[in-house]
Amino acid sequence: MLKVLKNLKKSLGSVIAIVILLCIQAATDLALPDYTSKIVNEGIQSGGIESPAPDIISKDNMDTLLLFTEQDKEILNNYTLVGSKPDKHQEKVINKYLGKDYNVENKNIYVLNELEEEEKTNLEGLIAGPIIEMTTITNEETANSLKEQILLNVPEQQKTYLENMSLLEIISQMPEEQMNQILNEATKQIESMSDSIKEQAAVGSVKQVYKNLGVDTDKIQNDYIFMSGLQMLGVALISMISAVSIMFLSSKVAAKLGKTLRDKVFKKVIKFSNAELNEFSTASLITRSTNDIQQIQQLIAILFRVVVYAPIIGIGGFVKVITGTDNSMAWIIGIAILAILFIVGTLFAVAMPRFRKLQDLVDKLNEVSREILTGIPVIRAFNKEKKEEARFDNANKDLMKTNIFVNRAMSMMMPLLMFIMNSIMVLIVWVGGHNVDQGVMQVGDMMAFIQYTMQIVMAFLMISMISIMLPRAAVSARRINEVIEKEPSIKDKKETKNFDPDKKGLVEFKNVSFRYPDADTEILEDINFTAEPGKTTAIIGSTGSGKSTVVNLIPRFYDVTGGELCIDGVNVKDVSQKDLRDIIGFVPQKGILFSGTIESNIKYSDENMSDDQMIMAAEIAQATEFIEGKEKKYQDPIAQGGGNVSGGQKQRLSIARAIAKDPEIFVFDDSFSALDFKTDSKLREALSTRTKNKTVIIVAQRISTILNADKIIVLEEGKMVGMGTHEELMKNNETYRQIALSQLSEEELGEKGGK
């Protein structure tokens, strides 16, 4: 898989941009639960007041507050009693809470100084307890209750006098020891509170302080919720823009990788010799170039989002939970992660072997389909439709069964994971609800914890989803790499030679032998002959004698395994394949045409070829008769594979294509077999005028095609058993004589030979 990913170098800029955007998206997504917590805790429950240290407090309230602490100096060091000329910071605070029209000349308010984070935290610790005690004492209902308790122990003579005083006035007139006793009782109750509840109570006390000063606390709450909501929307918008950009760039990177891989596979396949093409099979190469690359492309489209985003979210969410205000429920996340890993690991272990098998079965189905579709005429001729249907059905069923097993296994994953996610949510609400009830946790913290937990679980869900695609993509990557890394058995040397101009058109087989890769026996043995320019060399023999193998060695479709094959005086292994094939006009045994027009097929060797050269080639190949009968003449369309022309027409156009190239050497591999005798005769007669100075090598089954050849090579079981003219071989070679007499009578052979 990593070897395939190396091809992303061309999209490095986009990949870097995706990673940066993923980090931005992860950061924004991790910030959203904090805003939820703030809106619930500070905005709703605390009325928009964030700190237990009031930004502004009346002098009377400050004096009262200091009664409940011995750290008067430390607290007052953080506040300034505002005079007639407040500074910019003081003016800003006053305008925020009391409005621009508030008169500060009376020096009746304290404003909190500009403090560092650490200083403010220290102040909050000092002031939280005293401010709760102060508001508790000054609260009318609480004050009346405490006042009644105090008056119970007071003599009747003083009770009438004290009843007309406030609780605070009563406490201030008490002996110090008695006053401290009452205050210590209140302090103990406050210290027994949890930090979060204590902070919430302190913030509630600040709200009362603001009300005492005449501050519009409803406006503070509305402003806080509005601004927090606006910030939350901004963060969500950034997350959305990042997500859209990531998907756009990921799709672009995936498509570009698919194009690069298809390009590499195709270019490598083009370089393959017949040996590699036979090794992989055409059906498999098509599957690897399409289906396998599509699997990789689909994976890459979401890979970055999972590989980069999921770990950031998972780790980031866990860190947020651990370092948050309350981490008492972190163990729930551990349970969720372990459960998810167990399910994903189990399904992965069960399905992975089947994923490997899946692509091989797709190959097999393609191979069977291709073979059946290609051989439909033969299948119908032998009434074997049922047999082939059964063969296709078997391959189809094997693929279906494997697909069903894999899909069933993977379809269980999502319901199980969703069950875990919902169970975890219920568990959080259950445990969190008890914590909120006991005053250990605030509602906003529980909501934030739920969101962080869902983010962590979703990160693992994303990783588990990629595990569905990864095994199949890994198999596809391996199959693609097999093609890309396969070295062609036939390749050019680093330093190539040029042809000898004095031996132009000369083809020499010197003790040539050949065996197919992995074969045990030689297909050709000790082949020795020379084909000269201006002469026609024919090769004949029974089926399987090695005729086509001999001519396939000339353009180097295969390399000789023994001896030496020289063209223009140079070993074919020492020249470049391009230079070698440039001087050869090869017509294969089976005529192959490409989708396009008659013109594009004849001009296949050179698109800029003149029309006169094209028409002349068509005339020599005896193709003008049917071309002129077409509605659009040379512009008439040719279907894929030449499906809209007959076998004879296809063969004539293939011959015209080779003639139009005007090469040094013509190689006809049984290329006249689909022609009738009259067309065959006319074609060879016209060809002889065109090839006076050319080397012509013809493989033929019909004796009539090669009667007038300058040299006839007779093959039998891969060995040369005769060489000479028709007359010489009829006299001296029994193999040739038997082939000839099997087709024509002695009188016909004598007449044709004479002609």
pLDDT tens readout for residues 628-649: 888 888 888 888 777 788 888 8
pLDDT tens readout for residues 159-178: 666 666 666 666 666 665 65
pLDDT band at 261 (very low <50, low <70, confident <90, very high): confident
Distance CA 44, CA 561 (A): 88
Kind plus residue range of the DSSP H or E element containing 529: strand 524-531
Q: Which of residues 455, 471, 487 is at a domain's end?
A: 471
Say whether pLDDT at 560 is over 60.
yes
CB-CB neighbours of 686 under 10 Å: 16
Name the nearest CA neighbour of 299 among 5, 675, 593, 702: 5
Name the nearest CA neighbour of 605 among 539, 666, 694, 532: 666
pLDDT tens readout for residues 442-460: 777 778 788 888 877 777 7
pLDDT band at 197 (very low <50, low <70, confident <90, very high): low
Q: Please indicate, yes or no, whether residues 713 and 725 belong to a single structural domain of this protein.
A: yes
On whether residue 693 sits in a domain, the answer given is yes
Q: Which of residues 662, 691, 707 is at a domain's end?
A: 662
DSSP state for residue 109 in the 8-state scheme: E
Q: Please indicate, yes or no, whether residues 313 and 389 belong to a single structural domain of this protein.
A: yes
Q: Please indicate, yes or no, whether residues 421 and 330 belong to a single structural domain of this protein.
A: yes
Question: CA quadruple 249, 255, 261, 266: dihedral positive or negative?
Answer: negative
Q: Please indicate, yes or no, whether residues 302 and 363 belong to a single structural domain of this protein.
A: yes
On whether residue 110 sits in a domain, the answer given is no
| Cα separations in angstroms, 181 against 150, 178, 188 | 12, 5, 11
Name the nearest CA neighbour of 413 among 464, 462, 353: 464
Q: What average pLDDT score do residues 462-479 get? A: 75
Q: Please indicate, yes or no, whether residues 391 and 321 belong to a single structural domain of this protein.
A: yes
pLDDT band at 224 (very low <50, low <70, confident <90, very high): confident
Q: Please indicate, yes or no, whether residues 613 and 571 belong to a single structural domain of this protein.
A: no
Q: Please indicate, yes or no, whether residues 233 and 337 belong to a single structural domain of this protein.
A: yes
On whether residue 101 sits in a domain, the answer given is no
Q: What are the phi and psi torsion angles at 680 (to 5°)?
A: -60, -45
Distance CA 20, CA 623 (A): 64
pLDDT at position 170 is 63
Task: Among 150-159, 290-299, 649-658, name the one with the lowest average pLDDT.
Answer: 150-159
pLDDT band at 566 (very low <50, low <70, confident <90, very high): very high
On whether residue 467 sits in a domain, the answer given is yes
Q: Please indicate, yes or no, whether residues 292 and 187 belong to a single structural domain of this protein.
A: yes
Q: Round the average pLDDT of the chain to a whole number and report it.
A: 81
Say whether pLDDT at 546 is over 80.
yes
Kind plus residue range of the DSSP H or E element containing 250: helix 217-271
Distance CA 660, CA 681 (A): 20
pLDDT band at 238 (very low <50, low <70, confident <90, very high): very high
Say whether pLDDT at 145 is over 70.
no
Secondary structure class of 653 (helix, strand, coil)? helix
Higher per-residue confidence, 174 vs 711: 711
pLDDT band at 185 (very low <50, low <70, confident <90, very high): low
Say whether pLDDT at 357 is over 70.
yes
Q: Which of residues 641, 662, 683 is at a domain's end?
A: 662
DSSP state for residue 44 in the 8-state scheme: I
pLDDT at position 754 is 46
Q: Please indicate, yes or no, whether residues 749 and 616 belong to a single structural domain of this protein.
A: no
pLDDT at position 748 is 61
Residue 698 β-bridge partners? 538, 668
Task: Among 13-22, 399-408, 454-463, name the one with the lowest average pLDDT.
Answer: 454-463
Task: State how beta strands 637-638 and 507-514 pair.
Answer: unpaired
Angle between helices 117-138 and 195-213 (to 10 degrees): 70
Q: Which residues contact 749 (CB under 8 A, 6 or more apart)?
A: 703, 707, 726, 730, 740, 741
On whether residue 15 sits in a domain, the answer given is no
From the number of C-beta atoms within 10 Å of its C-beta (0-12, 13-18, 19+), residue 405 rates as: middle
Say whether pLDDT at 144 is over 50.
yes
Say whether pLDDT at 751 is over 50.
no
Distance CA 399, CA 484 (A): 26
On whether residue 452 sits in a domain, the answer given is yes
Q: Please indicate, yes or no, whether residues 197 and 327 belong to a single structural domain of this protein.
A: yes
Q: Hey, what are 3's tokens?
A: 């070897």
pLDDT tens readout for residues 594-626: 888 888 888 888 888 888 889 998 888 888 888
Say whether pLDDT at 538 is over 80.
yes
Q: Please indicate, yes or no, whether residues 577 and 611 belong to a single structural domain of this protein.
A: no
Give the CATH number, domain containing residue 653.
3.40.50.300
Tokens 């209902």 -> residue: 141
CA atoms within 13 Å, Cβ hemisphere of 676: 5
Give the CATH number, domain containing residue 143.
1.20.1560
Give pTM, 2 decimals: 0.67
Q: Please indicate, yes or no, whether residues 598 and 576 belong to a single structural domain of this protein.
A: no
What amino acid is encoded at 710 in this protein?
D
On whether residue 108 sits in a domain, the answer given is no
Q: Hey, what are 275's tokens?
A: 């040996």
Full domain range(s) for residue 623 = 588-662
**Domains: count for the chain:** 3
On whether residue 259 sits in a domain, the answer given is no
pLDDT at position 755 is 45
Say whether pLDDT at 492 is over 80.
yes
Q: What average pLDDT score do residues 56-85 get? A: 85
